[in-house]
Amino acid sequence: MYGWGILKGLGVTLKHFVETFWDDLRWLGKRYFNEEALAVRQGTKARGIFTVQYPEEKLTLPEEFRTIPFLVYELDEHGEKQYRCTACGICSKVCPPQCIWIQRSTDPETGRPVPSPIEFSIDIDMCMNCGFCAEFCPFDAIKMDHDFELSSYDRQATHIYNKEQLSKPVSYYASIRPTNYAREEEARAAKAKSKAEKATG
Amino acid sequence: MPETLDNPEVPVPEELKGQVKITTLDRIYNWGRRSSVWPMMFGLACCGIEMIAAAASRYDLARFGMEIMRPSPRQTDLIIVSGTVTKKMLPQIIRLYNQMPEPKYVVAMGACACGGGPFKEGYSVVSGIDKFLPVDVYIPGCPPTPQALLHGLITLQKKIDKQSIRKVKWYQKHESREVPVPLLGPDLIDPRDFPELEECEPSES
Amino acid sequence: MQSGAEGACVIQGTGHGMSEPSKQIIHDAVETLTSRFTDSVKPDERQGYSGLLVDPQKLVEFATVLRDELGYDYLSSVTGVDYLPDGMMEVVYHAYRTAGGAALVFKAQTPREDAVVPSLVPIYPGADLQEREAWDLFGIHFAEHPDLRRILTWEGFHGHPLRKDWKEAYFEEDAKPFDIRWPDGKAIRVEDSTQYRKNVSYPSEFTLDGWVPEGDTLLYAGMGDVQASDGNGDDIATDTIIVNLGPQHPSTHGVFRMVAELDGETIVDLKPVMGYLHRNHEKIGERNTFLMNMPFTDRLDYICSMGNNFGYALAVEQLMGIRPPERAEYIRVMMAELTRILNHIWAIGFLLNDLGAYFTPALYVIKERELILDIFEAVSGSRMMCNYFRFGGVARDLPEGVIEKVHDLVYERLPRHLDELDAYLVQNEIVRARLIDVGVLPAEQAIAYSAAGPVLRASGVPYDVRRADPYSIYDRFDFDVAMRPNGDSYDRFLIRLDEAHQSLRILRQVLRDIPEGEIQTGKPRHQVRVPAGESYGRVENPKGELGYYVVSNGTPNPWRYHVRATSFINLSALGEMCKGHKVADVVAILGSLDIVLGEVDR
């Protein structure tokens, strides 16, 4: 019959249409703004309306999610920021669009390089969010952020991030990437232990 | 109605609160505009795909009154420069912008449109659409996820909310926002550079 | 193969690799050619190189023998290499037999200053756009080429950018990493240090007086001549008119432009115009280190970044002589096949969009695509720009829960979705009326124009790199090479459903067999040592054969990095396919070719 194919197609559309109401009923009005429902709604078993009501609710970001990099610091007993970065320059060398600039400190007396950065800048208008800097950093000092809400009205003044803007505490890192953090801390502890053993033995 | 519509400076008697709303012309005008921003159906590169994704069912631009993407610039309020702007494409982008009716907004989506992005060093890439168009909102990211784009559009709505009919450029006399269309010569030639180009003997850099 | 259309036809898979016999075939062909052309053909004996060096004088004759007598009917890739220290330009050709097997590589060398090579368009029409690209970017003149114009830059552009001595406005250094970044890096914007504060430079002799932009005169040359009417009874002479579609057009899938010459509403001639998204991928790629190119490949065909990673990783691994561990191979195949499904449903959705179904079919497919993207995001950290493959492995192991999710998708969600698409579209009378017998590309033409992927297979040529020249571990899987016989837009639509089903089949085997273990050969390194030589890594990307031609001279940066972009070469046949059809059909034909502009223009 001519037109049967179209009718069959419209049947599919109708099915989708009905499914949305069916799923609403199933959740008894608790379909939105509900963590549990969001997980089901966005998972592989999702039926019905697929929308995530951003900004009120946000998609759960996977641990590996990456936007722009940030520098990890730890607070020491005086409340000073202790950067893990040693200004070794690997991140700036591995960066594909070359958007990382690092200024290494030098000892004012000897003129020798000191393993810490005076300034660390990333031009986020060039950064391609590839994650190489974080991947190849031997000191776990630079990591990829989860914060994607970065829109601004101006870029000339703000889009080259300096060290201050890039800094985030290690607790923040632990909160966005718990598994990676736990694994790395373990490795660091093991390394420190073997180093200590070597020093004593 | 969103609460921003109420004008808190004018006291409304208690008994009328259910029936009367007082607002300003600016607020109601901005409310109308910010809730029906029609973007141009205009994708340049990778970010364009994320823009399509943002318009689709998961992120649903319709919730912001932005689902009507028009391919014709004459019917749009917003151009989302979504992707790498190349020198060859630039004249067309400028022409599209010039054809849009006022009031019009420009969103630079992604690192490339903001400042050239990872391809900045290349010979045929424009380092940021803001060299030519007045950008209202920059959305960094490569590419920004659809949620980041939505955040950018919300940021744009906030900007619209703050505008005032008396001050906006498009109601000023003798104020033209037309951008001169660049030409393609041995390299991109911006008409605004003509004086400089004629003045000094150009040299290869 | 449950799509209900008539004419479905598949070749039963054998599941065997064919590297040994194919080596023999190559060897025989080389023997024949060197004995036939004793003076003008000799083996390329540079360290790490292979193939034949052909005297440009004899190139056309050589190619004719190659195609007609030895069966190398498919010219995959044509590109130039600038050997600046030797003062020589080389044109590199990769030819295949559609019967299967490895590439026969042949090269023609010509002096740099006066680079002329005969055009192979008369023998392999698929060389058309690629030769124009080599002319545009290298300044190699292809004698007798029917339409040698610039293609990625514009007419009037100064110089040929991929020549090694050509420098752009923002030039910093020949190779990355740049010295000013570390240890004394003070962030600047590079435009602040150039004369016009923009990314422009002009030749020293250029002045504005008397300068006229060249515009599109060359493009329009030969189009729009006055024609007599075709004798419909009235003898009124009618003009053909020229219509530009794009670069800003909702159905060109990006910034693509077509110039159509119309007689009434019928296409008389149609020329693709590209370059509106030319992002200097290759120029940047030659400045990058080997690893740095990986995230850039994501941005080629930005719908299928995993597939792009795959090809590039293969090309460099060939040079390095390493192979990834088992688990990594399986993960790679899993990602590549998920990408294929994702790309094909996306292509179908947007083909329907182009046909005027507006957004509904696209919305349904985007929903499924989002679920696949969730997997990519969990695995690699980014939805689209995955940057997941590394030389000798993948970046990280699959996080917890991913296998289960893939399992759900492969066994439940995606088969259901494909069946739904089948019920939704395949028998739809409007879809059939708009697609059947529209844009027919016969098998011989598809081969001649070097069409690849679903476009080639929908024309009745069962050529799939995964089967014809297996890479990675594809020789282990049991799958059919989808094929459709008619070569029209409808077949190109159906074959995407077929291939998605086959991908599901491969994915089921991957899920069954994936072993535990390492995901990286050796320690992950950011500076890889790549021995001097050339390599051509090719994969069956969803859109067709994607090849990377990489030349290393032993330094940390590739000397030449070329991408054989499927979407770009598939456009060679567009003009032929559109002739005689109506304007509205052009949109359907283009939609059924499934191009992506990041790959067309690179």
Question: What is the pLDDT averaged over residues B18-26?
Answer: 81
Residue C218: give the domain boundaries. 214-273
Question: What is the pLDDT averaged over residues C231-255?
Answer: 77
Contact between A155 and B130 using a beta-carbon 8 Å cutoff: yes
Average pLDDT, chain B: 85
Residue C298 lies in a domain: yes
SS3 A46: coil
Same domain, A82 and A171: yes
Same domain, B164 and B191: yes
Nearest to C181 among A65, A101, A128 (CB): A101
SS3 B19: coil
Residue A198 lies in a domain: no
Please tell me the predicted confidence (pLDDT) of residue C340.
Answer: 93
Please tell me the predicted confidence (pLDDT) of residue C10.
Answer: 37
Nearest to B111 among A54, A125, A149 (CB): A125
Same domain, A144 and A181: yes
Q: Number of Cβ pairs closer than 8 Å across B and C?
A: 181
Question: What is the pLDDT averaged over residues C164-171?
Answer: 88
Question: What is the pLDDT averaged over residues C317-344?
Answer: 92
Question: What is the pLDDT averaged over residues A27-50?
Answer: 84
Asked if the model's pLDDT at residue B15 lies above 80, the reply is yes
Which residues on C lie below 8 Å from B98 (Cβ)?
none
Q: What band does A201 get if pLDDT is binned at 50, 70 and 90? A: low
User: How far, in Å, CA of A163 to CA of A144, rounded?
Assistant: 15
Contact between B96 and C248 using a beta-carbon 8 Å cutoff: yes
Examine the fold and report which residue of C114, C143, C172 is the final residue of a domain before the chain moves on: C143
| B175 reaches C (C-beta below 8 A) | no
| C247 reaches B (C-beta below 8 A) | yes
With contact defined as beta carbons under 8 Å apart, do C267 and C245 qualify? Answer: no
Nearest to A58 among B128, B135, B147 (CB): B147
Contact between A68 and B115 using a beta-carbon 8 Å cutoff: no
Average pLDDT, chain C: 87
User: How far, in Å, CA of C507 to CA of C480, rounded?
Assistant: 13
Please tell me the predicted confidence (pLDDT) of residue B204.
Answer: 47
- Give the contacts of C387 (CB within 8 A, at least 6 positions apart): A130, A131, A132, C294, C295, C298, C305, C309, C380, C381, C395
pLDDT digit string (tens) for C382-418? 999 999 999 988 998 999 889 999 999 999 999 999 9
Q: What band does C551 get if pLDDT is binned at 50, 70 and 90? A: very high
User: From C166, which residue of chain B is nearest by alpha-carbon distance?
Assistant: B123
Please tell me the predicted confidence (pLDDT) of residue B156.
Answer: 92
With contact defined as beta carbons under 8 Å apart, do B139 and B149 qualify? Answer: yes
User: How far, in Å, CA of C503 to CA of C112, rounded?
Assistant: 46
**DSSP label at A126?**
T
Contact between B121 and C287 using a beta-carbon 8 Å cutoff: yes
| C304 reaches B (C-beta below 8 A) | no
Q: Number of C-alpha atoms within 13 angstroms, CB side, residue C300? A: 32
Please tell me the predicted confidence (pLDDT) of residue B18.
Answer: 78
Asked if the model's pLDDT at residue B113 lies above 80, the reply is yes
Query: Which amino acid appears at position C49 of this protein?
Result: Y
Nearest to A92 among C177, C296, C399 (CB): C177
Count of domains in chain B?
2
Ordered strands of the C104-111 beta sheet = C41-43, C52-54, C104-111, C88-96, C74-83
Question: What is the pLDDT averaged over residues A98-110?
Answer: 89
CA angle centred on C600, ends C346 and C163, rounded to 5°: 155
Question: What is the pLDDT averaged over residues C55-64?
Answer: 90
Q: Is the peptide bond before C462 cis (omega within 30 degrees of 0)?
A: no
User: How far, in Å, CA of B183 to CA of B132, rounded?
Assistant: 13
Count of domains in chain C?
3
Residues 6-65 (C) with a CB less than 8 A from some CB of B: none
CA angle centred on C75, ends C69 and C81, rounded to 5°: 120
Give the CATH number of the domain where residue B177 resides: 3.40.50.12280
Asked if the model's pLDDT at residue C13 lies above 50, the reply is no
Same domain, B109 and B17: no
Contact between C429 and A3 using a beta-carbon 8 Å cutoff: yes
Range of lowest pLDDT (B195-199, C62-66, C142-146, C296-300): B195-199
User: Which percentage of chain C shows pLDDT scores above 90?
Assistant: 39
pLDDT digit string (tens) for C20-39? 677 788 888 888 888 888 88
Same domain, B73 and B163: yes
Q: How far is A136 from chain B (nearest CA, A)?
A: 19
User: How far, in Å, CA of B55 to CA of B59, rounded?
Assistant: 6
With contact defined as beta carbons under 8 Å apart, do C202 and B204 qualify? Answer: yes
With contact defined as beta carbons under 8 Å apart, do C505 and C2 qualify? Answer: no
Contact between C383 and B145 using a beta-carbon 8 Å cutoff: yes
Which spans in chain A are helix H? 4-26, 35-41, 90-94, 132-136, 163-166, 170-176, 178-200
Q: Does the interface ipTM go beyond 0.95?
A: no
Q: How many helices (H) and strands (E) does chain A have?
A: 7, 7
Q: What band does C227 get if pLDDT is binned at 50, 70 and 90? A: low
Same domain, B26 and B73: no
Phi (first) and psi of residue C553, to 5 degrees: -115, 25
Please tell me the predicted confidence (pLDDT) of residue B145.
Answer: 92
Q: Indicate the pairing of strand A142-144 with strand C257-263.
A: unpaired
**DSSP label at B156?**
H
Q: What band does C240 get if pLDDT is binned at 50, 70 and 90? A: confident
Question: What is the pLDDT averaged over residues C440-445?
Answer: 91
Structure tokens at C464: 């799939």
Examine the fold and report which residue of A58, A80, A95 is the final residue of a domain before the chain moves on: A58
pLDDT digit string (tens) for C488-536? 999 999 999 999 999 999 999 999 999 998 888 888 888 888 888 999 9
Same domain, B136 and B110: yes
User: From C427, which residue of chain A is nearest by alpha-carbon distance?
Assistant: A5
Same domain, B61 and B152: yes
Residue A15 lies in a domain: yes
Q: What band does B205 get if pLDDT is binned at 50, 70 and 90? A: very low
Range of lowest pLDDT (A2-16, B14-28, B87-101): B14-28
User: From B97, which residue of chain C is nearest by alpha-carbon distance?
Assistant: C248
Question: What is the pLDDT averaged over residues A154-180?
Answer: 89
Q: What band does C234 get if pLDDT is binned at 50, 70 and 90? A: low
Asked if the model's pLDDT at residue B170 lies above 60, the reply is yes
Residue B205 lies in a domain: no
Asked if the model's pLDDT at residue C7 lies above 80, the reply is no
Asked if the model's pLDDT at residue B146 lies above 70, the reply is yes
More confident of the two residues C225 and A140? A140
Contact between B184 and C154 using a beta-carbon 8 Å cutoff: yes
Which residues on A lie below 8 Å from C176 (Cβ)?
96, 98
Q: What band does C18 get if pLDDT is binned at 50, 70 and 90? A: very low
Residue C185 lies in a domain: no
Q: What band does B135 get if pLDDT is binned at 50, 70 and 90? A: very high
Q: How far is C31 from chain A (nearest CA, A)?
A: 44
| C195 reaches B (C-beta below 8 A) | yes
Count of domains in chain A?
2
Same domain, B10 and B105: no
Which residues on C lie below 8 Å from B60 (Cβ)?
none
Contact between C280 and B125 using a beta-carbon 8 Å cutoff: yes
Please tell me the predicted confidence (pLDDT) of residue A144.
Answer: 92
CA distances from C141 to C18, C88, C298, C572 (A): 38, 13, 31, 19
Q: What band does C9 get if pLDDT is binned at 50, 70 and 90? A: very low
User: How far, in Å, CA of C250 to CA of C255, rounded?
Assistant: 9
Range of lowest pLDDT (A184-188, B56-60, C219-223, C228-232): C228-232
Contact between C382 and A16 using a beta-carbon 8 Å cutoff: no
pLDDT digit string (tens) for C176-191? 888 888 888 888 888 8
* Length of chain A, in residues: 201
Question: What is the pLDDT averaged over residues C251-270?
Answer: 87
Contact between A144 and C399 using a beta-carbon 8 Å cutoff: no
Residue B150 lies in a domain: yes
Residue A175: give the domain boundaries. 69-185
Nearest to B118 among A68, A97, A148 (CB): A97
Same domain, A88 and A163: yes
Question: What is the pLDDT averaged over residues C241-251?
Answer: 84
Which residues on B lie below 8 Å from A124 (Cβ)?
111, 140
